A and B are shown apart, each in its own frame.
Chain A
């Protein structure tokens, strides 16, 4: 039976993992992910989840154990944040090139130094080129829903790529919100029992992870990219199925009041909800502004983003990450995605919300106004950092 409960973001993720009947969990604690690994440990200890919990000695091993378990045909889960994702970095390439449907949840965290346990998107951006499906949640319900979806997507025979769900550290991981939890049967329909087609099995031996000399490496990478690109349509298909069962819908790019908008603000993750309030306020004043949220970060939704901002004169992008010596990574990708479009909007870049710094409604309004100024008069700088105390 469907029920509505109050749940912390981390607990909502754990609940999704439990209902997905995961076989092997492996994780290492790091703020702000700890509540997920603690809750899952409890579930296993209480017999609410029949899984092996491998309490590893590092994130490098957490991801490695997931890779091994997935290669042996198990449904797996891990979760981490910030430094932990960085320590996993080397291993992250393995499931995406071996086509293993590992699912990970990342409670996004800033990177040292100075040490910061608080949220931003530096960790997510550092892993964008690896071939993981990357999805950003915006509230606790989405953290639950998108974790379920990650299994549906990753395990699809036409995908078989690992998937990562991002929830902003603290802003989502530690926030309690009402969540609708579905019936177990609905979850079972959505993610049926999974059998990995090439599992390590003495009855049907395979060699996995052979090395690729120059005569074959390029072909291996080309085929990986072709497969990854074509998983884009499966993501949308999975979200369509999700809507059919659970009556909530997700899109690679989600728009808010953009119909006739001249200026569109673009954000990712939990900050979208505050940004909507800014849009509402400006709409009330008669300003033609709207909001776009990138739900799907990889594979990058080129068509959807082009459609979503069609007709707008200006796209104002907020990055919660800085690529030193360059600027905002999301903005730079958007600029290149629009480069060959005939009627492209101008694109202005802001960076803020680093290391857990909030962005207020006023600041979103400021970005939109300042973005227009920059668009009209130009600027000396490639991007502007907001909320910096001088």
Chain B
């Protein structure tokens, strides 16, 4: 007898146009599987939107809306408020409102709208798919691009190491809004990811998921490395998996020893120009940040 842990239903149906090895499409599929049918999905402009909605086709079997790049959290706020009123007036029952956006749509152009929605306390789940650049428009840098990475607008060159700034800590910004639930996840850990989705939608109020999604096209890596790179990001401490529930921090995966970041860097073209000294500098930052995060964990 086989036991299914995950539904076979695909509300995000196959046949969309994501690149081979797309971590974002994989993550979306996992998130949607964990969400069930009683949802309304709001999508920002970006890869997640463009791969699955060319008129007159759609991959979405649940109600779905896309309008612009930076207003996803505001559209979601409007829907959530509308559902509240129509339920109160006895017209229709509520559904859970979910927002999808990339790291650019979240940590750059959509940050104000997201902050507003989190601060106002709407009952919605906002999911950021972080592929560490504006991939839809051709691998331009975002504030979520890691230090040293090559992108088309922060190219490496004689005078440049590529991205000159450290990755913006978007999960910390979300937590700073005192929301009931925040978690990081990665589709290389599907059960952890889906558990977190379920937890996130079960809270009353805003929740935020920051999902690390490998982009072979933009990261200049082999398309069969998506799962491996996701694991390495976690095992190196570059992208720690943790959750914050009502202010309490909990590590989801805590490797006894961190893998050197070199193992993660060397299989990606976007880091290939980096010298050993720069990698060492980044290693120090990663180790330090990881330690500081662990200090926040309960019971440690």
Contact = CB atoms under 8 A, between A and B. Distances in A.
7 contacts: A61-B73, A65-B81, A69-B81, A71-B79, A74-B81, A205-B60, A209-B65
B115 interface: yes
Interface string B43-77: 10000011001111110111111111011011111
B120 interface: yes
B282 interface: no
Interface string A60-84: 1100111111111110100000000
Contacts of B58: 207, 210
A210 B88 CA distance: 31
A64 B63 contact: no
Nearest to B76: A68
A55 B38 CA distance: 27
B71 to A, nearest CB: 4
Given A64-B71, A208-B65, 5 more contacts: A50-B85, A68-B80, A201-B40, A209-B66, A209-B67
Interface of B: 37-40, 42-43, 49-50, 53-58, 60-68, 70-71, 73-86, 88-89, 91-92, 95, 112-113, 115-116, 119-120
A23 interface: yes
Determine chain A's interface SS by DSSP, over half rule.
Answer: mixed
A72 B112 CA distance: 23
A202 interface: yes
Nearest to B73: A61
Contacts of B77: 54, 56, 61, 64-65, 68
Given A56-B116, A202-B63, A205-B64, A68 B42 contact: yes
7 A-B pairs with the lowest CB-CB distances in the bound complex, closest first: A68-B78, A65-B78, A64-B74, A57-B116, A74-B82, A61-B74, A72-B82
Contacts of B83: 72
B60 A68 contact: no
A72 B40 contact: yes
Contacts of A238: none
Contacts of A66: 78
A220 interface: yes
Contacts of B80: 68
A277 to B, nearest CB: 44
Contacts of B65: 68, 71, 200, 207-209
Given A64-B68, A64-B75, A65-B77, A55 B89 contact: no
A209 B64 CA distance: 8
A68 B63 contact: no
Contact of A74 (B37, B66, B75, B85): B85
Nearest to B116: A57
Nearest to B45: A211
A55 B58 CA distance: 33
A72 B80 CA distance: 9
Contacts of A205: 60-64
Nearest to B37: A202
A91 to B, nearest CB: 6
Contacts of A213: 54-55
Contact of A68 (B74, B85, B92, B95): B74
A52 interface: yes
A71 B208 CA distance: 23
A50 B89 contact: yes
A145 to B, nearest CB: 26
A216 B57 CA distance: 12
Interface string A118-130: 0000000000000
A115 interface: no
A201 B92 contact: yes
Interface in A188-222: 200-202, 204-213, 216, 220
- The residue in B39, B119, B120 that gathers the most chain A C-beta atoms within 10 A of its C-beta is B120
A91 B113 contact: no
Interface in A282-335: none
A23 B84 CA distance: 9
A349 interface: no
Interface string A348-387: 0000000000000000000000000000000000000000
B95 to A, nearest CB: 5
Contacts of B49: 211
Contacts of B82: 23-24, 52, 68-70, 72-74, 76
B39 A24 contact: no
A55 B121 CA distance: 11
Contacts of B76: 68
A208 B49 CA distance: 11
Given A57-B115, A58-B116, A210 B79 contact: no
A212 B55 CA distance: 5
Interface string A22-54: 011010000000000000000000000011101
A220 B55 contact: yes
A243 to B, nearest CB: 30
A64 B67 contact: yes
A337 interface: no
A183 interface: no
A90 interface: yes
A70 B82 CA distance: 8
A200 B79 CA distance: 9
B71 A60 contact: yes
A61 B112 CA distance: 9
